[in-house]
A and B are shown apart, each in its own frame.
Chain A
Amino acid sequence: MESNAKNKSVIIIGGGVAGMAAAETLNDSGVNVHLIEKNDHLGGNTFSWACMATGSCRHCSACLSHEMADKLHRMTCVNTHLNSEILEIDKNQKKYTVRLKGDLDQSIETDKIILATGFTPINPDGLIGEIHKKNKYVITTVELNHILKNNAIGEYFPDTSCPKIGFIQCVGSRNREKGRDYCSQVCCKISLRHINKLMHLYPGAKISLFYIDLQVIGKEIRAEFDSLSDNVDLIQGVPIEIFNNKMDKKLSVIREDDESGSRIADHFDMMVLSVGIAAHENTTGLMGKLKISSDQWGFINDKSLPARKDIYVAGCAAGPVDILTAKQQGINCAKKIIQCFNPEKPGRAKGLIAIIGDGNEARKTASAALNEGYDVWMFGLSNKKESPKKGIHYIHDTKLISVKGAAGNFAVLYKNSQKLKQENFTAIIVAEPVKTSPAGQKTNLTPDVLYSLEDFSNILEKNPEDIPAAIVFWLDYSKPEFKTFSRKALVHAIELAKAGKQVSFIMNKMLVHGLSGQKLYDKARKLGIKFLRTASPGDVSVKKENGKILFDLKEKILKNLIISFESDWLIIPEHISPSKQNPMIAALLKENIDVEGYLQSANVRHRLTNSPRKGIFYTGSCHDETDDQDQNIEIEIILSSINDIACKKTMGLSCGIEINTKKCRKCLTCFRACPHGAIVLNADMKPYIVPEACFSCGLCLSSCPALAIESKEFSDESYINSASEDKVIIFACERSGALAAGPIEKNLRVNIQKVPCVCRISKNILMKTLEKGAEKIILAGCHTDNCRSLKGSQTAQTRAKILGRLPGINDSNIIFYPVAANESKKFEQFLAQEVLSK
């Protein structure tokens, strides 16, 4: 079946996150890949970005580009062409011939092309651009990334431990006059993480964040924002001019005073310009060569891609996306191409999929799975009778008892109608509905004038004639609005305004995410819809009089003023919270919930849709802030992953780890320890490893008290022997420590041993290595919440601590050091201090 793919080749233009993800996926299916990169290294923009961890991982995902780049160099089907650019592309009957400038002088024949040309950070211009050029204390977020990555921020503040730093959002974005009337989406998140990092490095720092509409969107971002907002000066309004006071070397901006509304000067030691994302300058020429067109902003218009499906686009080439989404899009492109090479006719009963949840998102997922030829069982709490649909089996009013087994063969035990039942599934998709409850009770308005957004949508659809003349939408009523609601309210408002209704918004900010979000907001304002901004929901008071709702509102921009107005109806988007079932579901699936109580931990090693347990997937708002479009993409990628499982593409891989049944004492330590659910029990209650589900982290191996689990490749002896006669040995995780050590290894000349996960290093290895004469063992693992095996690096940390307390060993003999792949400089400085000074 795979033979088709093996004769094919694909050119990927751009070696950033999206391009690398596509290359890796194609490689795994045996497709020949030419990866063209104009720089001298893979990794794209994010390769030079800093780690944002502060004690634990902040899920920025920048380190992933290092891991991906490292893996690619070892892939057999991937030819990487560095320092190369496209010179010519010719289209013959079915193939493209591509000539490169740079790497080699030959031409490459290819069946398909993936455009992953990425983005260019916007270069600040105008007044702010001038001072950015001249003053070293005015930097962009890109430059701040470089500074942090080089661990060099201290050079900027030699005299103070309490620097005053200002962040200015939307530099270059959201500017119609400059032809960039879109929101770059990622910059608010980047600034929040930068602020968190700076506060961590300088707890006494005073940080101000100047913004237009803070885009608090995405997994755990609300929590991030909450924890920062008390310590950061949040200022609505972005300065476009920075003055350089030569006397005290401070930077000043003029802003409106919160109390008086007058203009005041604010002084800073450093100003950070949060620059947006623009289409990559090289993309234009490429689009011309391929006869495809750009959208009005210069991003590749994916609607202009040829219908014959031989050109694909992934990542920021098509518009601003974050790292994980870019990665996902790369994988998606590759999977579509593989499917093209090996078309599989959808047949009945490819397998059985369990869907947890019975809301709209679950239904949508079910229909999509059905279309792909799967039978679907939906497990839900509701007791509504469903009209049966062929291929979809509704299990109502269910209590899930356990989920055993592994990818390809999960056994779900559940209780239904007082009976215990079991069914086997190929895969499990979690689409548990979120809890929605009507908001606005505190207004004391009666239901004839107060509506949830959903109820209002229904009225607008079915009985638009019932809608009165004046409508108010109230966003951010109790906490930052969800993006779906902002968008939906805007769309409704525009429709109403066009129909001659008088529409107003009360809001703290407008979420203008997505390329078209800004345009929609612009359209609404132009139609005369009024947008009233409040600092907090408490700034609005509402009462009903003579059938009208009367509002008194403290407008954020017009200080010391109460604005009164009236309307007929008030629409408040429903309040959303995690389902009460989430902790139970997470426990069943051996997964974590995130800090806000939603399903799926924020760990970037498995997101967007995967879980540490292969064959279990998440979709919809139960795990992330998704809209319809986001969920479509999620479902697409989930179903193609399930396809791999169903077609047993992942079967037969050896994980290299086996349980020696003779030595096994059935204590089940391994079964409990495995973070990936890869160890299951057979009928005799004997554990065995399901290779397809195993990530080969070695946690079972290092935890087994009977030393019954063995690995041919990574035996205890091989690690102990590798220590040779060295006084210092570093066991470094192949996804973090070893990558961070890569660029510095030659200079340091220390013994660095790559391990699949630092949790592989058992007490046995540690003790024997010390016995052999090592004086210092460093376990260089991932930051908390960034470990692919979830608790792997924490386990290593605990081991180091416990052994350090034993007689004859002290805590400087075994050190756990958390480090990310993009923290070479930090690691180097740590090693210089810890190792080389001795």
Chain B
Amino acid sequence: MENVKLNTGSYLIEQLNTSQKNDNVFECLSCGACSSSCSWFEGEGGPVPRQIIKMASLGLDDLLIESGMLWDCLLCNRCTQNCPMGITMGNVVRKGRSHPKAGKLISKDIQNGIKTRLTTGDVNGLTREEFIETIEWMSEEFADETGDPDATIPYDQKGAEFLYLPNPRELGINLLHLTAMAKLFWMSDQSWTMSSRHTDVTNWGYFVSDDEIARKMALMVIEPAEKLGIKTLVLSECGHGYHVLKVLAEKLIGRKPEFEVLSMPEFVLKFVKQGKIKLDKNAHPYPVAYHDPCNLGRKSGLYDAPRELLALCCKEVVELVPNRENAICCGGGGGMLQDSKSKPKRMITGKAKADQIIASGVQNLAAPCLSCHRQLGEISNHFKLGVKVYTVAEIASSSLILPGDKKMV
């Protein structure tokens, strides 16, 4: 049996025993509600939420760091969704991750990614020249594809209404996704642009809970956007990117950004409602299940827009049970997907999701987050679910009804 010393003045106690709600671990009643609803569910290993809180509140910082629970946690907040005292696990765990002694726990991939992002502006190290080269080439392809010489993928256009912030994958291994998004902008008839100054919706400073890094990364997006004078920043489908830029940004940078933030599905829905974008329900004549990304739903409160949009693109939106506030994490959250060695673990954390998908009986799944999208695809392969996974905007893009003057070639 291990022996530890109670500590009343630990780093975590200082950080967490604030008087504000949500991260005061001292408020914990030890009711155990969290432990019964952790996305890891049954079995050895993984975090035990109540123990995390207990360790933090007793000042057992070292024990918590050594337990490995900090980086096993998916930051999905499912456990504390129903906390009677309103404690938010994500805040607690992230504070633990930023503990001075916890630096060694951060995976090499995340450390490198952060370094690259801070030096180059892109988590994959894409340079400005490479970005411009890629976009110009894609833009030509896009004009050819649409048969509309005016159909371009613009960048650095001052005074444009909308600025699209992609996921780095869209400029690397998943160029088709960027084209699909461009098609939606093109159909919306709005002035839009991308920026060669910032090409990355992600913010890994959030995962390591280093506010300084998170602030820098947020500013890398916000300041150039403000210089361009855009009105609305449209984010590629990314859970934590949305949570940081929509919910946390103001607190991180100490002021409100001078533009509105929308996720891609919100943007599309807005112009569908204005009649600018027209969608064909028959493009996907089968039911599609909707997955609530934790960062979008539980943590940022976005539940309805992606569902509404999806409903216009397919036969029927099927709900996974439980969903919305109590949705089950894809199993790849909390920085797990950003660690290339995490796959074996992710196939454990993804089990509950796989069960949910099987229970729903559907063959097609949509998630408005490229991380969830990747994890769900891997779950489908691993558990042999045979499910096709899309993002919501991707489905919207392939449901577009093109007017006569904008015929595809």
Contacts and interface: CB of A to CB of B under 8 A. Distances in A.
A436 interface: no
Interface string A556-579: 011011111100000000000000
A177 B36 contact: no
A563 B8 contact: no
Contacts of B85: 176-177, 522
Contacts of B19: 526
A564 B29 CA distance: 22
Nearest to B34: A240
Interface string B291-328: 00000000000000000000000000000001000100
Contacts of A778: none
A713 B1 CA distance: 76
A833 to B, nearest CB: 44
A261 B51 contact: yes
Interface string A254-280: 111000111111000000000000000
A263 B4 contact: no
B17 A528 contact: yes
Interface string A524-565: 011010111100000000000000000010110110111111
A557 B54 contact: yes
A64 to B, nearest CB: 33
A10 B82 CA distance: 45
Interface string A641-666: 00000000000000000000000000
A564 B17 contact: no
B36 to A, nearest CB: 4
A826 interface: no
A528 B8 contact: yes
Given A261-B48, A565-B5, A239 B36 contact: yes
Interface in B31-51: 31-33, 35-38, 40-46, 48, 50-51
A243 to B, nearest CB: 9
Contacts of B405: none
A526 B4 CA distance: 23
Contacts of B6: 504, 530, 563-565
B27 A263 contact: no
Q: Report the interface size class on chain B.
A: 35 or more
B147 interface: no
A503 to B, nearest CB: 10
B54 A555 contact: yes
A530 B8 contact: yes
Contacts of A176: 84-86
A528 B84 CA distance: 19
Contacts of B31: 170, 174, 212, 237-238
Contact of A262 (B17, B24, B48): B48
A143 interface: no
B35 A237 contact: yes
B84 A178 contact: yes
A531 B27 CA distance: 11
Contact of A236 (B32, B44, B45, B86): B32
B203 interface: no
Interface string A494-516: 00000000101000000000000
B45 A262 contact: yes
B26 A237 contact: no
A175 interface: yes
B160 interface: no
Interface string A209-222: 01010000000000
Interface residues of A, number: 49
A28 interface: no
A562 B2 contact: yes
A241 interface: yes
Nearest to A260: B44
A272 to B, nearest CB: 16
A240 B37 contact: yes
A241 B37 contact: yes
A263 B30 contact: no
A755 B261 CA distance: 79
Contact of A525 (B2, B26, B55): B26
A127 interface: yes
Nearest to B37: A241
Interface in B72-90: 82-86
Interface in A108-150: 126-127, 130
Contacts of A560: 1-2
A564 B27 contact: no
Nearest to B78: A241
A835 B206 CA distance: 76
B321 to A, nearest CB: 8
A305 interface: no
A348 B329 CA distance: 76
Contacts of B46: 263
A253 interface: yes
Contacts of A565: 5-6
A531 B45 CA distance: 26
A532 B36 CA distance: 21
Nearest to A552: B3
Nearest to A172: B84
Nearest to A262: B44
B26 A256 contact: no
A525 B16 CA distance: 13
Contacts of B29: 174, 212
B4 A561 contact: yes
B158 to A, nearest CB: 47
A236 B27 CA distance: 17
B58 interface: yes
Contacts of A126: 82, 326
Contacts of A256: 32, 35, 48, 50-51
A255 B322 contact: no
Contacts of B399: none
A526 B27 contact: yes
B103 to A, nearest CB: 24
Contacts of B51: 256, 261, 557-558
A237 B53 CA distance: 14
B57 interface: yes
A564 B37 contact: no
Given A212-B30, A261-B51, A254 B4 contact: no
A562 B5 CA distance: 8
Nearest to B2: A561
A667 B38 CA distance: 75
Given A530-B57, A533-B30, A177 B8 contact: no
B328 to A, nearest CB: 10
A835 B122 CA distance: 88
Contacts of B82: 126-127, 177, 240
B83 to A, nearest CB: 7
Nearest to A174: B84
Contacts of B48: 256, 261-263
A176 B46 CA distance: 28
Contacts of A238: 31-33, 36
A561 B5 contact: no
A683 to B, nearest CB: 66
A526 B26 contact: yes
Nearest to A252: B42
Interface string B193-234: 000000000000000000000000000000000000000000
Contacts of B2: 560-562
Nearest to B57: A530
17 contacts: A127-B326, A175-B84, A177-B82, A237-B32, A238-B36, A240-B82, A256-B48, A262-B48, A263-B38, A528-B8, A528-B26, A557-B54, A562-B1, A562-B3, A564-B3, A565-B5, A565-B6
Interface of B: 1-6, 8, 13, 17, 19, 24, 26-33, 35-38, 40-46, 48, 50-51, 54-55, 57-58, 60, 63, 82-86, 322, 326
A-B pairs, top 5 by smallest CB distance, nearest first, are A237-B32, A239-B36, A565-B6, A175-B84, A240-B33
Given A241-B37, A265-B42, 13 more contacts: A127-B82, A174-B84, A254-B41, A256-B35, A256-B48, A256-B51, A262-B44, A530-B8, A532-B58, A557-B54, A562-B2, A562-B3, A564-B4
